[in-house]
Amino acid sequence: MPFNPVRISVIVPVYNNPQDLRECLSALIASSCSGSEIIVVDDGSTDNTPDVAAEMGVRGLRLAKNSGQSAARNYGVRHARGDILFFVDADVVVMPGAVSRVVKVFEEHPDITAVFGSYDACPRAKEVVSQYRNLLHHFVHQKGNPEASTFWAGCGAVRRSAFEEIGGFDEKRFAGRIEDIELGYRLRKARYRILLDKGLQGTHLKRWTLRSMIRIDSACRAVPWTRLILESNTAPPDLNLKRGQRLSVALAGLASIFLFFAPFRVELLDFSAAALVGVVVLNRDLYAFFFRQRGFFFAAACIPLHLLYYLYSGLTYVYVWLDFQLRGAIVRQSR
C-alpha cells in the first residue's frame, strides 16, 4: 500500500465539552481528505471528554492539567505531522469540504501564509443574545477585508513553517484571551499574508448569556486587545476596528454622558438622541442584516444589545488607555 504523507493536521482543543466535540468531529471526519489527520487535544478535562476521540476513531492527546487553549494548540502542533495546521474549536461544526478547501487555498496561493473563515448565519443556540452575538461575528467577518490584518483560530489555518518561526501561540500574556489575534499581529509584522476566506464557514454551538457576553468581550477581548494595540501602536481599520465602529463607540459614549446629565439640563436629551441616531445610521447595514435573518422584533432587540456592546467596549478602552498612560508616566519618572 503506498505511503500517503500527511498534508494537513486538524487540531481541536477541548475542555469539558463532550457533546459539542462529537458534532465537531463528525463534521471534520466527513470533511477529511487524503493526506489529512485529526488531533484532539484534551485540556485536562474532568469529565468523559477524553473518551470521545477514542470512540470516534480520532487521535487523542491529553494535557495533565487545564492549561488553556494556547497550550493545547501548541501541544497539538508538536505532535502533528502536517505542514498545514488547521485549528478548529470544539464548539464549531465546519461546513462540508472545509478541510479540502483549506488545502486548496494554500495550493492555489503559495504566497498566503494563513487563512481563516467565520461562523455561518445559522447559530445553534436560539436565545436572542446567542443569536445576536454569533450573527454579529458572521456579519463582521463577511464584511471584512480579504487581505486580513489578524487571525482567528476558531476555524483558521496557518503554514507550519511560519507558525514555528514566530513561536506559536502565546501561552502567557494573551493565553485564553486573544492569542489568535496576537498571533495574527506577529504574522503580519513578519510580513506574512493572511487571507479571510468568507466561504470558509462553520456553525457555532456556543450559548451566550448577557453576563458571559459582557465578561468575555470586556475582560477576555477588549482589555488585552487594547493593550496589544497600544503596545504595538497598530490598529488596522478592519473587522471590529473599522472607522465606523470606532465612531459608533464614541457616539454611544456621548449619548450616555448626555443622558446622565440630562436631569440637570433637559436639552441634553436631544443631543443624546442625536448621538443614538448616529449610531443607528452608521450600523444600518448590520441592523438590516438582522432584520433579513430573523425579522423585525429580533432586529429591534439587537439594537440596545449593540449599543451596550459599544458602551462597555468604549469604557474598557478608556480604562486600559488611562492605565497604560499612568504606567508609562511612572516608568518615565523612575528613570
CA distance 137 to 217: 12
Q: What average pLDDT score do residues 150-178 get?
A: 94
Predicted confidence (pLDDT) at residue 174 exceeds the cutoff of 60: yes
Instruction: Specify the 3-state DSSP secondary structure of 198.
Output: strand
Summary mean pLDDT of the chain = 94
The pLDDT value given to residue 3: 44
- Please tell me which residue, 239 or 125, carries the higher pLDDT value: 125
Q: What local confidence, expressed as pLDDT, does residue 4 receive?
A: 54
Question: Within 10 A of 94 (CB to CB), how many other CB atoms are there?
Answer: 25
Taking only the tens place, the pLDDT of each residue in 220-258 is 999 999 999 998 888 777 777 788 899 999 999 999 999
Residues 214, 313: contact at Cβ < 8 Å? no
Q: Which helix (H) or strand (E) segment is 24 a member of? A: helix 18-31
pLDDT tens per residue, range 208-230: 999 999 999 999 999 999 999 99
- State the Cα–Cα distance between residues 99 and 315, nearest whole angstrom: 40
In this structure, are residues 118 and 155 in contact, taking their beta carbons and an 8 Å threshold?
A: yes
CA-based nearest residue to 213, from 110, 128, 280: 128
**Beta carbons within 10 angstroms of residue 131's beta carbon:** 22
Q: Report the distance separating Cα 291 and Cα 106, nearest Å.
A: 36
Cell triple for residue 22? 462529537
CA distance 195 to 118: 12
Chain centroid to Cα 226, Å, comes to: 15
**Spatial CB neighbours of 11, under 8 Å, sequence gap ≥ 6:** 39, 41, 73, 76, 77, 80, 85, 86, 87, 88
Closest CA relative to residue 102, chosen from 173, 28, 40? 28
The yes-or-no verdict on residue 2 having pLDDT over 60 is no
As a whole number of angstroms, the distance between CA 68 and CA 189 comes to 25
Residue with cell 463528525: 26
User: How much is the pLDDT for 234?
Assistant: 81
Percent of the residues in the chain that have a pLDDT greater than 70, as a whole number: 99
Q: Which of 216, 172, 167, 166 is closest to 191 using CA atoms?
A: 166
| CB-CB contact of 120 with 95 (8 Å) | yes
b/e per residue 176-192 (b: at least 16 CB within 10 A): ebbbbbbbbbbbbeeeb
Alpha helices (H) in 32-83, listed in sequence order: 49-55, 69-79
pLDDT score for 335: 72
Strands 59-62 and 36-42: parallel
Domain borders along the chain are: 8-207, 239-334
Query: What number is the average pLDDT over the span 171-190?
Result: 92
pLDDT digits 0-9 by tens, 270-306: 999 999 999 999 999 999 999 999 999 999 999 999 9
CATH homologous superfamily of 8-207: Spore Coat Polysaccharide Biosynthesis Protein SpsA; Chain A (3.90.550.10)
Predicted local confidence at residue 1, as pLDDT: 33
